[in-house]
Amino acid sequence: MIDVDVTTIRDRVGKELAVSDWVEITQQRIDEFANATGDRQWIHVDPARAAAESPFKTTIAHGFLTLSLISELMRKAVQFTGLRMAINYGVNRVRFVSPVPSGSRVRGRFTPAAVDDVTGGVQVTWQATVERDGGDKPSCVAEWIVRYYPR
């Protein structure tokens, strides 16, 4: 994990800021996400059927589960100093490029693409990439927008 003063992010635009540690995507995590969202499609929650019928031969994480991990992956990679509060503002673009099979590991790569002033803080547009251990393509790429409010 690296420490970054939130007021210096502008100096890092276009340069990769951080890479998180790996996080395992367990079937339990997939099931809990399915229960929380009501998305219980068999490709996510039925290991026996997935082994028999899915081209992946196992269950896969929901794309939105993978996307939702971006915040956690950032927290594992960066500790912002001088920060009072951070708020997810949204996403401009998201693509689920390749699946995340149950039991695999993912990590996040983060590059600030733009920094804009907002009342009381800064808005950072991140190029966030979630990659799977051993994968040849990213699992998710997103333009993620966060507003940071310094102390």
Whole-number pLDDT of residue 137: 97
Q: Which pTM was predicted?
A: 0.93
Number of structural domains (the chain) is 1
Q: How far apart are the first and last CA of the chain?
A: 21
Q: Of all helices (H) and strands (E), which one includes residue 50?
A: helix 47-53
Which 8-state DSSP code applies to residue 115?
A: E
Whole-number pLDDT of residue 120: 95
Amino acid symbol at 141:
V
Whole-number pLDDT of residue 93: 95
Tell me how far apart the alpha carbons of residues 11 and 18 are, in angstroms, rounded to a whole number.
14
Assigned token pair, 39: 């998305």
- Domain that residue 24 falls in: 2-150
CA 84 to chain centre: 22
Q: Of all helices (H) and strands (E), which one includes residue 138?
A: strand 138-150
Amino acid symbol at 117:
D
Inter-residue contact 125 to 37 (CB < 8 Å) = no
Whole-number pLDDT of residue 48: 98
Whole-number pLDDT of residue 44: 98
Q: Any idea what the CATH number is for the domain that residue 27 is in? A: 3.10.129.10
Q: What are phi and psi of 21, to 5 degrees?
A: -70, 165
- Tens digit of pLDDT per residue, the chain (151 long)? 899 988 899 999 999 999 999 999 999 999 999 999 999 999 999 999 999 999 999 999 999 999 999 999 999 999 999 899 999 999 999 999 999 999 999 999 999 999 999 999 999 999 999 999 999 999 999 999 999 999 8
